[in-house]
């Protein structure tokens, strides 16, 4: 029989995925950084945020492209799932999954590829040499991201009545006709505008956030990175991680109210039979 996985178990298991990913990066001289809630956990707790089992990492596009090639040669429990290596995967957010688990998400998107417990890879793209240029770059990429979002939504949405869902689906029909893969290819085309160019600014292009200030940074804010302890290991964090966390969360060292100390993920997770 399938067995549900507790948050304590999932924290240990997703940490093993992170260690696997770190080893691949270290062995192949690939750059990565802890991100978002994982980074807060490292800075504020020295470990996971107690009520969360999420792992997020940043990775520059050039290094991510190398990772795709490397992962294709590895036969392991952990697999990269991305649009680049599986056209049935219809999201711009790559994941490394644990294939011995099954994860069923309850979001307003169709799942066309079986997932397991995973870490998310947020891609850093070169974005231009002035803040204005980087802002224009990000807004152009995000406009494509929004169209992908509309193309991939289910007909009936969890926060809408059936009537409003149907009316919304009619409005989104042109995007559905054009197709999800079309917009994912366009997203990659736009986000790699400055690929292999040494720009002053970079942008995190697959977050889905419309706010430029939360996604455009100086390349030096990431920099070579600094060592930071997370659980019983040392990982890399952005050089200016304090600034990045403040932009995203404000006073990130302050604990949220007790009622908000819960996981916000909507999924079922269990071991495969």
What is the torsional sign of CA 83, 178, 204, 111? negative
pLDDT at 1: 43
Cα–Cα distance measured from residue 53 to residue 262, given in angstroms and rounded to the nearest whole number: 10
Q: Average pLDDT per run of 10 along the chain, which is 273 residues long?
A: 78 97 98 97 96 95 98 94 93 96 87 93 98 98 96 90 90 94 96 96 97 97 98 98 96 92 82 83
Question: What end-to-end distance do the CA atoms of the chain give, in Å?
Answer: 6
Beta strands 95-98; 118-128: pairing state: antiparallel
Structural tokens at position 23: 């080893």
Identify which of 249, 245, 56, 131 has the alpha carbon closest to the alpha carbon of residue 139: 131
């Amino acid at each position: 029989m399938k067995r549900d996985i507790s948050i304590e178990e999932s924290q240990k298991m997703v940490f093993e995925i992170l260690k696997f990913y770190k080893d691949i990066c270290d062995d192949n001289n690939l750059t990565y950084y802890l991100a978002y809630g994982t980074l807060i956990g490292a800075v504020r707790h020295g470990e996971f945020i107690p009520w969360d089992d999420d792992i997020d990492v940043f990775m520059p596009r050039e290094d991510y492209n190398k990772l795709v090639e490397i992962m294709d040669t590895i036969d392991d429990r952990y697999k990269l799932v991305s649009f680049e290596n599986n056209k049935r995967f219809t999201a711009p957010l790559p994941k490394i999954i644990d294939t011995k688990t099954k994860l069923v998400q309850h979001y307003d998107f169709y799942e066309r590829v079986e997932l397991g417990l995973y870490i998310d890879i947020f891609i850093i793209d070169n974005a231009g040499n002035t803040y204005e240029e980087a802002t224009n770059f990000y807004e152009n990429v995000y406009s494509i991201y929004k169209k992908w979002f509309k193309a991939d939504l289910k007909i009936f949405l969890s926060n809408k009545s059936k009537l409003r869902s149907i009316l919304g689906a009619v409005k989104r029909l042109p995007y559905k006709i054009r197709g999800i893969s079309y917009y994912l290819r366009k997203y990659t085309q736009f986000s790699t505008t400055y690929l292999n160019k040494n720009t002053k600014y970079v942008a995190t292009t697959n977050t889905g956030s419309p706010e430029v200030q939360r996604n455009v940074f100086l390349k030096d804010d990431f920099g070579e990175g600094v060592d930071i302890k997370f659980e019983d290991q040392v990982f890399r964090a952005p050089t200016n991680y304090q600034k990045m966390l403040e932009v995203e969360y404000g006073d990130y060292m302050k604990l949220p109210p007790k009622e908000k100390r819960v996981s916000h993920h909507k999924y079922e997770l269990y071991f495969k039979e």
